[in-house]
């Protein structure tokens, strides 16, 4: 059974810092990995999707990497802003298309 | 707006009542997912449709839960004889392998928050 762990569970940083959020998974036979952001009481917003054959994806200040063999992904946020405050979730999808989510990293960026 | 929509956004019900939620996916998406999320947890997969066919069901989906997707468009999730443990946010997502978006990116709706008293 796939298990997904996200570290740290919570993070509080001053504005402008560069951040790294970690996601690890136990079964490396994955189809893709997707990073989401969730604001309190809201649905999830897709940030980046990495296919199993890819090593990284970039969108604006966000960069996600994937090391399938070691079962790890990182989400790098450059020059963090208060508007980045949210919970960040990673979801791993195996061949059956059933996604497994981590518990998320709760991020607060204070001015 | 052509995103995923869910109705209602909030539902308060008494234990033992039946409730039904609706999800309208992005129109060209052929895959539709239902999830349940409780406070402090990531979403837990419940079930998945490709077009009108229900292809996967989680063991979390007890016999009190049923989902349908007639004609491969909108979907409904019904919970019969609700229990307090059913209180959660119910999320719907859709995706498609075709079109201009990255392959199989899931797009989520705003969710339906269920409170069972």
Pick A98's closest partner by Cβ from B56, B104, B113.
B56
CB contact under 8 A, A44 and B56: no
Scan for tokens 């059974």, then name that residue: A1
- B113 vs A: CB within 8 A: yes
Q: What digits encode the pLDDT tens for the residues A39-82?
A: 988 889 999 999 889 999 999 999 999 999 999 999 999 999 99
Q: Do residues A93 and A32 touch, judged by C-beta distance below 8 A?
A: yes
State how beta strands B112-116 and B10-13 pair. parallel
- Tell me the pLDDT band of B98, cut-offs 50, 70 and 90: low
Scan for tokens 């490396």, then name that residue: A28
Q: Do residues A31 and A52 touch, judged by C-beta distance below 8 A?
A: yes
CB contact under 8 A, A49 and B105: yes
Q: Give Cα B50 to chain centroid, integer Å.
A: 13
């Amino acid at each position: 059974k796939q298990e997904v762990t996200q570290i740290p569970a919570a993070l509080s940083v001053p504005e402008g810092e560069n951040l790294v959020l970690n996601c690890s998974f136990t079964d490396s036979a994955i189809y893709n990995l997707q990073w989401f952001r969730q604001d309190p009481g809201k649905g999830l917003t897709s940030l980046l999707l990495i296919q199993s054959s890819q090593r990284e994806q970039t969108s604006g200040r966000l960069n996600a990497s994937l090391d399938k063999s070691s079962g790890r992904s990182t989400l790098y946020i450059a020059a963090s802003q208060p508007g980045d405050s949210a919970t960040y979730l990673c979801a791993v999808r195996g061949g059956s298309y059933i996604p497994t989510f981590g518990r998320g990293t709760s991020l607060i960026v204070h001015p | 707006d052509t995103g995923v929509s869910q109705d209602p956004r909030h539902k308060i019900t008494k234990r033992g009542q039946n409730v039904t939620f609706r999800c309208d996916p992005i129109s060209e998406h052929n895959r539709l997912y239902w999830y349940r999320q409780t406070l402090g947890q990531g979403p837990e997969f419940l079930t998945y449709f490709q077009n009108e066919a229900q292809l996967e069901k989680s063991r979390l989906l007890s016999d009190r839960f049923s989902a349908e997707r007639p004609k491969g468009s909108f979907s409904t999730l019904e919970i019969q004889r609700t229990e307090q443990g059913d209180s959660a946010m119910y999320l719907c997502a859709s995706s498609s392998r075709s079109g201009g978006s990255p392959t199989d990116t899931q797009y989520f709706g705003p969710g339906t928050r269920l409170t069972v008293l």
